[in-house]
Amino acid sequence: MDQTQLQGYDILFYDYDGLRAELKASVNLFYEFLVWLFGSPILAINNALPKAHERPMSFGYDDVVMVCHSLGAVVARLALLRATREGKNWVSKVKLVLFAPAHKGARVVELALEVSTHFSFLSLFSGGARFKSPLIDQLKRNSPELVDLESGTKRELVDGKNRHLVANKVCIAELEHIVFNDTFCEDPEGETIRHSTHKTVCKPRHRFLRKTYLKPLEKLLEALK
């Protein structure tokens, strides 16, 4: 892959608790991050750059691509929907690239086990106790939260408006068992990444098949064109 294709782009990682945090709380925090990013981009990037490469005070982003995996797609969409309703002028700069999105529902306990390398198995199920997370109910298929997300998005898309709410690209895992791969609103049909699981669908490394190494990055680059 020609790495010059990524010139001119900054890569920012946003971290949140994807298993224990309440959905609306996560959305509010991400929304506040977006307001800060678009309102003070110079602070967002200059803190991470050597002094010789700092940007001028007039610096701003022309486009922001949100690359989201699983629950991240729900968090990002809800934050973007709120910004749209509030008339934020930066929403039109946003593109969505989604990997194994959970906006049509997810099996949260299975997800916890899928990422259990980050959580002690005993801490999840010590003494036979059920893994507790508000997301177990909030990400159920057809939960009130997910129904509101879809109906709210449909309302904002009436008459061809607010196209930033439609994903630019959706990639789904061939060996998916965590989320449901149904199409959301006017999103494009999901593109299947062969041999991928819910956990590996967005990762540029594949343990066994080197030929799929660049597939997630290729899909991202397609969305930048």
Our separate counts of H helices and E strands in the chain read 8, 4
Is residue 216 within 8 Å of 152, Cβ to Cβ?
no
pTM value is 0.86
In a domain, 140, yes or no: yes
d(CA 18, CA 42): 28
Asked whether residue 22 is domain-assigned, the answer is no
Determine, yes or no, domain membership for 152: yes
Please report whether residue 11 resides in a domain.
no
d(CA 164, CA 81): 10
How would you class 30 by CB atoms within 10 Å of its CB: exposed for 0-12, middle for 13-18, buried for 19 or more?
buried
Q: Give Cβ neighbours of residue 194 (< 8 Å, ≥ 6 apart).
A: 174, 212
In a domain, 13, yes or no: no
Distance in angstroms (rounded) separating the CA atoms of residues 12 and 214: 20
161 belongs to a structural domain: yes
The sign of the torsion formed by the CA atoms of 192, 197, 200, 205 equals: negative
- The Cα-based distances of 137 to 22, 108, 123 in angstroms read 10, 9, 20
- DSSP secondary structure, 19-76, as one string: TTS-HHHHHHHHHHHHHHHHH-HHHHHHTTS-GGGPPPTT---S-EEEEEETHHHHHH
Which residue stretches of 86-214 are H helix? 108-114, 121-125, 135-138, 144-156
Per-residue pLDDT of the chain (225 residues; tens, 9 = 90+): 556 666 778 888 899 888 888 999 999 999 999 999 999 888 878 888 888 888 998 888 899 999 999 999 999 999 999 999 999 999 999 999 999 999 999 998 787 777 655 445 445 444 444 567 888 899 999 999 999 999 999 999 999 999 999 999 999 999 999 999 999 999 999 999 888 899 888 877 655 555 555 667 777 777 776
Query: What domain range is 129 assigned to?
Result: 64-224
Domain presence at residue 49: no
Q: How many domains does the chain have?
A: 1
112 lies in a domain?
A: yes
Neighbours of 69 (CB within 10 A): 20
Q: 68 - beta bridge partners?
A: 98
Task: List, for residues 45-76, the tens digit of each pLDDT value.
Answer: 888 888 888 899 888 889 999 999 999 999 99
